Amino acid sequence: MALITGGASGIGRAIAARFVREGAKVGLVDRNVELLAEVQGELGSACVTEVADVTIEAEIARAVARTVETFGRLDIAVNSAGVGDGNLIMLMEEEQWDRVHSTCLKGVFLSMKHECRQMAAQGDGGVVINLSSLNSQQPAIGVGAYCSAKAGVNMLTQVGAMEMAPAKDPRLRDRSGPDRHADVRICHGRSGRQSGVP
């Protein structure tokens, strides 16, 4: 059972289609009502959709809960929601910066928080995949907000992996136990092409 943010288009939509072909049930989260309905029509009963904004904690918490209510558990989470809004640093409006960072970084944080809580409550593991970008490590003119947000995703993912792996309770820091309740990974996207999903 999987949850995919940004699941109505691009990489998220392609991942959802592949998961369903492989036999998974998927919960899709997106702000685009029309595209979510389109994907629901394509994937049928293997899919449940939730119109939600990943930058609003109550909405992502509701999306996780709905996926679990529908399919019984959460085994895989793919955090794919993202936006790009480019401008030179000296010309960038504060609203542009905030929009990119809210979706690309805060949205991943809020999604991980509720996904990992659910996986911890289940007690038997799970996988969280955060989609990053080559621009997290490769700077480019005019994409300072996007580059820095995706670099933040990389570090948040690494911290999440350290915090979530060692115990069934994410608040525990004892590294001696063999149990893992979440495997948290970074995935660098391929320019948003659906063909980039194997």
Output 183 or 106, whichever has higher pLDDT: 106
d(CA 37, CA 58): 22
Q: What is the pLDDT of residue 185?
A: 59
Q: Is the pLDDT of residue 107 over 50?
A: yes
Output 9 or 125, whichever has higher pLDDT: 9
Q: Is the pLDDT of residue 25 over 80?
A: yes
Q: What is the pLDDT of residue 164?
A: 83
Q: What is the pTM of this model?
A: 0.85
121 burial level (CB within 10 Å; 0-12, 13-18, 19+): middle
Average pLDDT (141-163) is 95
- In the numeric block, the tokens 């996780």 are attached to 64
Average pLDDT (19-47) is 97
SS3 (DSSP) at 87: strand
In the chain the domains, ranked by start, together with CATH numbers, are 2-196 (3.40.50.720)
Q: What is the pLDDT of residue 154?
A: 96
The count of residues in the chain is 198
Q: Any idea which residues carry the catalytic annotation? A: 146
- In the numeric block, the tokens 């621009």 are attached to 135
Q: Which distant-in-sequence residues (6+ apart) come within 8 Å of 160 by Cβ?
A: 112, 116, 128, 130, 182, 184
Question: What is the chain's Cα-based Rg?
Answer: 16
d(CA 112, CA 160): 8
Q: Are 78 and 20 in contact (CB under 8 A)?
A: no
Q: What is the pLDDT of residue 166?
A: 63
What Å distances lie between residue 107 and 11, 25, 60, CA to CA?
16, 22, 9
Q: What is the pLDDT of residue 186?
A: 60
